[in-house]
Amino acid sequence: MIKLYRFGRPFATEAVVEALAPQPAETLPYFSVQNDGCGFSCELGKETAVYGLGEAIRGMNKRGWIYKSNCADDPSHTEGKHSLYGAHNFLLIAREKPFGVFFDYPGELIFDIGYTEMNTLQVSTKEANLDVYIIDGDGLEDIVRQFRRLIGRSYIAPKWAFGYGQSRWSYYSEDEVREVVRQHRENHIPLDMVYLDIDYMERYKDFTVNKKTFPQFQEFVQEMRQQNIHLVPIIDAGVKIEKDYSVYEEGVQNGYFCKKADGSPFVGAVWPGKSHFPDFLNQKVREWFGKKYAFLLRQGIDGFWNDMNEPAVFYSEDGLKNTFSELKKLEGQNLDMDKVNHFRGLVNDLSNNPEDYKSFYHNCDGKMVRHDKVHNLYGYNMTRAAGEVFEKLEPDKRILMFSRSSYIGMHRFGGIWTGDNCSWWRHLLLEIQMMPSLNMCGFLYAGADIGGFGDDTTADLLLRWTAFGIFTPLMRNHSALGTRKQEAYRFPEAMPALKKLIGIRYALLPYLYSEYMKAALRGNLYFRPLAFVYPQDKQAAEVEDQLMLGDELMLVPVYTQNASGRTVYLPEDMKLVQMRSVSDFTVETMEKGYHYVPAALDEVVFFIRSDRLIPLSYGGECVSQVDFNHLRLLGNVQTAATYQYYNDDGSSKDYENPAHFAEITMSADSRVSAKGDMCLQLESAL
């Protein structure tokens, strides 16, 4: 049961897709309201866990910190930060009778979850204009399912996008990309995508291709497709100010860029230097910008990642002018502590400065809305711009799309990657902890940069991260300019193991894709904290480094260096699977309780729950080589196991067709059978 409580006159974020009649604000349950609707306070039981917030630092249970919904391009994801790139204002309060709450508010929102007072949740906004949705239900999963229905079906990626992708800031030329592909194909490391970071463009201009380094782009895209490789270019939010650059010229002519109070377009710098920012909150601008993607679609591109759309602003024209004038004043002075801090601040506070976000406006149905009040909607609407146009241009073809910045609502138009993480073991754990939170907020096509983006990776970190990454819908290895190159083939000692691990991804694809589709179609979680599955088990409730995948698996990733295994908690008897390749694995039944599980660097270890089975393929080096109809079933069958299998062509949108569902059964003596229209070949994997 979802109820809406409206405070003031909320901005129409279009986060939700169901229109509810608002209840009287003064009847809002669970919270006491302060500051005329800018503050919401709720007492928490000493042991009540709080879940949600999607993309955020710290653990699955968000208690004990202040989180700020304020989409920010900050590449240092440490425990002391308050914001990442997204704003996902949904919380689940896991009381004995749990409830969910969604604060639909597009400006800065603060969640003090037991930070100031250990047993108090305090939510605060700057203005008392917001919609608060309260969701009561029959347990945590039911509440999530209701919420997901409210916000609409999650984005569904093409099947090929469930393959493995390789990225780097940057592959600078066709030949560099060819070499990446060659290395993968010759070494039989499966691969479906190569990402093009900012340097494929001509001087960082959106919807251009550098003619020197990618001279025959259309032909090159085809050449790659013949090798079963999809090229996935990046698109940035900022548009370079450059005379005769058509996107710039059109935007200026039509008034499509965000404007300052004086009506002139706001000037902020990103990669190309001075740029304008399309006013994505305006429907006309979205249509205009969305259609620009056709420049690449026409050349055979069928996937994109949207970046820098918080929006990131290195400096504003006005801010930089001020900095230079202030710097001059400091010259020749004795810069002591205070002055040196001021000096540094003049430069370092230029980026993503809150004052700049207050200095430009959106035109929303004729009304000028100051950016900071709707800041968290910018990335959402950039991705929506593309998504809405794709629906028209390619009504029956799925286009890969994911974004850095997001707000709930954007999950209908694309996935996200978790931004500029680092090659830190702690960030592998952070991804493990973030995935179920993202799922709760509707983001299913998600994943972190495997191996880590910033800083230098190590062979063992890449191995362990890959062993987890094979389970995330978005599986991409990506690394930053200036860091150690981290393609699998750069590590001669680790490559054989990396190849096998990535191969296991392709073996798991029938299961992973099926689970993804069911999660999207039914509003389920793809990844769940153990607490959601075993709500009565106090030990399970605290486990923050294991994940349930679907109804079948429990993942127990290794995320510490120099460990040859880890301790795990089993909330029930399960079967341990130690998988070294598509065809080489061992299984062992383990009892409920604490165990140490060995996990070599070249192994994936996970558990199958009792009376469950998962379908495996025979593998492949790209998704199109994987046979989704010829399945090996890996089961932990005491009496009988049934699995609802989903499969489709992976590119069209006839998702709900009953022919896409089959019921696969396995008996205790390993006999297998299937019901449904699919033509499946089944056998037991054991």
8 Å CB contact between 182 and 49: no
Find all residues with CB under 8 Å of 538, minimum gap 6, and list them. none
Minimum CB distance to its own copies, residue 424 (Å): 4
Residues 452-491 that bind its own copies (CB under 8 A): 454-456, 458-461
- Asked if 536 touches its own copies (CB under 8 A), the answer is no
- Asked if 59 touches its own copies (CB under 8 A), the answer is yes
Q: At CB < 8 A and 24+ separation, what contacts does 348-354 make?
A: 350/314, 350/315, 350/316, 350/319, 350/320, 350/323, 351/73, 351/312, 351/313, 351/314, 351/315, 352/72, 352/73, 352/74, 352/310, 352/312, 352/313, 353/313, 353/315, 353/316, 353/319
Minimum CB distance to its own copies, residue 631 (Å): 36
Residues 114-133 that bind its own copies (CB under 8 A): 115, 117-119
Q: Alpha carbon of 6 to those of 22, 32, 192: distances in Å?
A: 6, 15, 46
- Asked if 329 touches its own copies (CB under 8 A), the answer is no
Minimum CB distance to its own copies, residue 491 (Å): 9
Residues 426-455 that bind its own copies (CB under 8 A): 426, 454-455
8 Å CB contact between 48 and 94: yes
Give the number of other Cβ atoms within 10 Å of residue 524's Cβ: 19
8 Å CB contact between 105 and 121: no
**Alpha-carbon dihedral 496, 502, 508, 513, rounded to 10 degrees:** -170
Minimum CB distance to its own copies, residue 48 (Å): 11
Minimum CB distance to its own copies, residue 343 (Å): 7
Distance CA 240, CA 243 (A): 9
Instruction: Closer to its own copies by CB, 415 or 436: give it.
Output: 436
User: Of 264, 561, 670, 681, which one interacts with its own copies (CB under 8 A)?
Assistant: 561
User: Of 27, 76, 226, 536, which one interacts with its own copies (CB under 8 A)?
Assistant: 76
Burial class (CB in 10 A: 0-12, 13-18, 19+), 96: exposed
Instruction: Closer to its own copies by CB, 19 or 337: give it.
Output: 337
- Asked if 61 touches its own copies (CB under 8 A), the answer is yes
- Asked if 320 touches its own copies (CB under 8 A), the answer is yes
The dihedral sign for the CA sequence 520, 404, 268, 78: positive
Residues 242-271 that bind its own copies (CB under 8 A): 269, 271
Minimum CB distance to its own copies, residue 556 (Å): 13
**Count, residues in the chain:** 686
- Asked if 352 touches its own copies (CB under 8 A), the answer is no
User: Of 8, 10, 273, 676, which one interacts with its own copies (CB under 8 A)?
Assistant: 273
Q: Find tokens 């000028």 and name the residue.
A: 368
User: Of 17, 327, 668, 686, which one interacts with its own copies (CB under 8 A)?
Assistant: 327
Residues 570-609 that bind its own copies (CB under 8 A): 594-596
Contacting range for its own copies; rule: CB under 8 A; set: 254-262, 392-400, 416-424, 614-622: 416-424
Distance CA 570, CA 658 (A): 35
Spatial CA neighbour of 631 closest among 661, 668, 672, 670: 672
Looking at the chain, the number of H-run helices and the number of E-run strands are: 15, 41
User: Of 396, 562, 591, 639, which one interacts with its own copies (CB under 8 A)?
Assistant: 562
Give 3-state DSSP helix, strand, coil % of the chain, rounded to 5. Answer: 30, 25, 45
Residues 77-106 that bind its own copies (CB under 8 A): 78-80
Instruction: Closer to its own copies by CB, 293 or 532: give it.
Output: 532
Residues 19-58 that bind its own copies (CB under 8 A): 47, 49, 58
Q: What residues line the site for its own copies (CB under 8 A)? A: 47, 49, 58-59, 61, 63-66, 76, 78-80, 115, 117-119, 203-204, 269, 271-274, 314-315, 320, 324, 327, 331, 334-337, 339-340, 343-344, 347-348, 422-426, 454-456, 458-461, 493-494, 539, 542, 544, 560-565, 567, 569, 594-596
